[in-house]
């Protein structure tokens, strides 16, 4: 799956390509919205998905349940101002690694495509699960894409 770096993403809900930033949104759960008794540090379940106008019959939005999800257009979360915006999540997030992943997906070139091949690379022994930190560097990301992108 070829993606234009920092302009296209894979929807966490339907698995199809979000063709441009204006077609996508970031969604997350804020426990404080759902329960008045909760203290802070309760933002979680971050996902990048198609927005209402880009998803067929709105199927990519979370099914209506008892919990309320908040969202923000991807257009507000890319570029320098978007990065500044994303960093604010760390104040209240339950698990910082969730925000780390979103920051990488929206701000590290080729990361979004490379993450498609991570499972295969680990299964092959090309990459160890414990070496995931090195995998964020451009050279490693590009090597991974080169090796796995034509194996689809
Ligand atoms: Zn979708």
Task: Check residue 152 and give its pLDDT.
Answer: 58
What's the pLDDT band for 5 if we cut at 50, 70, 90? very high
**Distance from residue 60's CA to the centre of ligand 1 (Å):** 5
Residues 144/119, Cβ–Cβ less than 8 Å: no
Rounded to whole angstroms, the Cα distance separating 71 from 46 reads 9
Q: What is the 87 CA–ligand 1 centroid distance (Å)? A: 25
Please tell me the predicted confidence (pLDDT) of residue 53. 87
Report the separation in Å between the CA atom of 150 and the middle of ligand 1, taken as the mean of its atom positions: 24
Q: Give dist(CA 67, CA 87) in Å, integer.
A: 24
Please state the pTM of the whole predicted model.
0.90
Lowest mean pLDDT segment, chosen from 37-41, 70-74, 140-144: 37-41
Between CA 24 and CA 34 the distance in angstroms is 24
- Residues 82-118: tens digit of each pLDDT: 999 999 999 989 899 999 999 999 999 999 999 999 8
Query: From ligand 1's centre to the CA of 54, what distance in Å?
Result: 8
Res. 38: pLDDT tops 70: no
* Token pair for 126: 């090309």
CA 125–ligand 1 middle distance (angstroms): 31
């Amino acid at each position: 799956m070829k993606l234009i770096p920092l302009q296209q993403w894979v929807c966490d809900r339907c698995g199809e390509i979000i063709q441009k930033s204006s077609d996508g949104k970031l969604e997350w759960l804020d426990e404080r919205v759902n329960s008045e008794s909760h203290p802070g540090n309760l933002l979680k379940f971050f996902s990048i998905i198609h927005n209402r106008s880009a998803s067929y019959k709105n199927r990519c939005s979370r099914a209506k349940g008892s919990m309320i999800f908040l969202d923000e257009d991807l257009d507000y979360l890319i570029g320098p101002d978007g990065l500044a915006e994303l960093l604010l999540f760390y104040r209240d997030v339950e698990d910082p690694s969730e925000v780390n992943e979103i920051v990488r997906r929206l701000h590290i070139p080729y990361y979004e495509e490379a993450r498609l091949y991570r499972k295969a690379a680990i299964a092959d022994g090309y990459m160890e699960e414990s070496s995931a930190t090195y995998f964020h560097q451009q050279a490693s990301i590009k090597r991974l894409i080169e090796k796995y992108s034509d194996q689809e």
